Amino acid sequence: MVLHWKNVSIKRISEESGYGTATVDRVLNNRPGVSKRTKDKILKTLNNLQNGNRKNNKKNILVCSQSGPSYNKTLEETLERVNSKNQNKFNLIKKFIAAKDFKPDHFIKILNDTSKFDAVIIVSQEDQNINNEIIKVINEGKPVVTLTTDLPNSNRTCYIGSNQSNAGSTAAHIIGKHVGPKSGSILMVMSMPYRCQQERELGFRKILRSEFPNLTIKESVFNLDTSEQSYKYVKKYIKENGCPLGIYNIAGGNLGVAKAVSEMNLQQDIIFVGHELNKNSRNLLENNKMDFVIGHDVELEIETAFDKIVNFDSEVENKTFHYSDILIFNRYNCLNKKVF
C-alpha cells in the first residue's frame, strides 16, 4: 500500500490523532510494530486532514488521585501545566479525593465506565477490588499508569515515581548521620495502606537496623494525611513518651507535625524529615520548622506518564517501571523550586 501523505506533516497528524510522532512515522512508512487499532486511527486522522475534515481525536485520560490535599493540589496544577505545554493534547478527566474521604467503591465506579476514557493515571492506596477493576481496563487494551505509589497486583502498565524503599533509606541515613552516636528513639508518622509508605518504612527500618543500632523506632503514630491529626497524635506521643531524637513523617500532614514540635519548643532537639516539596513544606524549611524534605520531580513524572500513554501501542519493549530521582531539599536549596 502506498500512502500519499506528504501534504500533511507528521507533527500535525500526531497532534490530531493523539499518538506520538514515532508511531505516526511507522504507520505512514508501513513499518511493523503498531497495532491494527492504532494504525486505523492514524490513517483515519490522515484522511480527515487531507479532506479538510479536522476532527478532535484527543485522548481522554482519567486521572484518579486519592491523597492528602497538598499532593492532590500539586498533581492537579502540574497536570494542567504539562498538558498546556503540549498544546492541550489530552482531555483530562480529573477525580481528586482526600485520603480521609476515600471509599474504594467510588474509584471502582469511575473505573468501570471505560467508554469515557482511553487511559488512566491513578494514585491510590492498595485495595483488591480496585486492582480487579484496573485488570479489566488493561484487558480492554487501555494503558494504566500508577503514579508515586504502585499497585503491582493490578497488572498496571507502568509505575512512575521514586524507588520508595530507597527514599526511606535516604531518610534514615539523614537522621542517623545528624543524630550521631546518641542513643534514643525515632518517631515515625504514617497514614493509610499506600504501597509507597510501606516501602519507605521498610527502607527506613533496614538502614536504622543495619547502620544506626543506637536508634530505635519504639512507636509509630497514624493520621489520615491531615495536619489536624498529625498535630494531635505527635503532641500526645511526646507528652506521654518524652522527646524523640528525630521524627520521620512518611505521610502527609507536615504542618501538624511542625506545629506540635514548635508549641513544645523542641525544634532544636528534634530532626524532622518528611516528604513532598510544596508551599507548606517549603515554608517550614525556610522558617527552620522542618530540616529536610525528600521530594521528586512531579512534572517529569507526568511528562513520562503522558509519553507512556501516547506510545502505548507502539512500544516494542514495555517497561513496567520508570524510577525518578530522589531529591533532597533543605532551607538553602528549596527557594527557586516551583511549588503549589
Flag whether pLDDT at 317 surpasses 70.
no
Domain range annotation of the chain: 10-50, 59-162+297-329, 164-295
Torsion of CA 271, 276, 282, 284, to 10 degrees: -40
The sheet carrying 215-222 orders its strands as 215-222, 184-190, 246-249, 271-275, 292-295, 327-329
CA pair distance 28, 1, nearest whole angstrom = 10
- Express each pLDDT in 194-246 by its tens digit: 999 999 999 999 999 999 999 999 778 887 788 999 999 999 999 999 999 99
In the prediction, which pLDDT does 250 show?
Answer: 95
- Pull the grid cell for residue 43: 490513517
CA distances from 36 to 12, 28, 43, 145 (A): 21, 13, 10, 23
In the prediction, which pLDDT does 99 show?
Answer: 86
Say if 59-162+297-329 and 164-295 have the same CATH topology.
Answer: yes
Flag whether pLDDT at 4 surpasses 50.
yes
pTM for this model (two decimals)? 0.83
Q: Which fold has domain 59-162+297-329?
A: Rossmann fold (3.40.50)
Task: Name the CATH superfamily, with its identifier, for domain 164-295.
Answer: Response regulator (3.40.50.2300)
- Quickly state the pLDDT bin for 167 (edges 50, 70, 90): very high
Mean pLDDT of the chain: 90
In the prediction, which pLDDT does 275 show?
Answer: 97
- Quickly state the pLDDT bin for 5 (edges 50, 70, 90): low
- Pull the grid cell for residue 146: 500508577
- Quickly state the pLDDT bin for 2 (edges 50, 70, 90): very low
- Express each pLDDT in 67-87 by its tens digit: 988 999 999 999 999 999 988
CA pair distance 276, 74, nearest whole angstrom = 9
Flag whether pLDDT at 88 surpasses 80.
yes
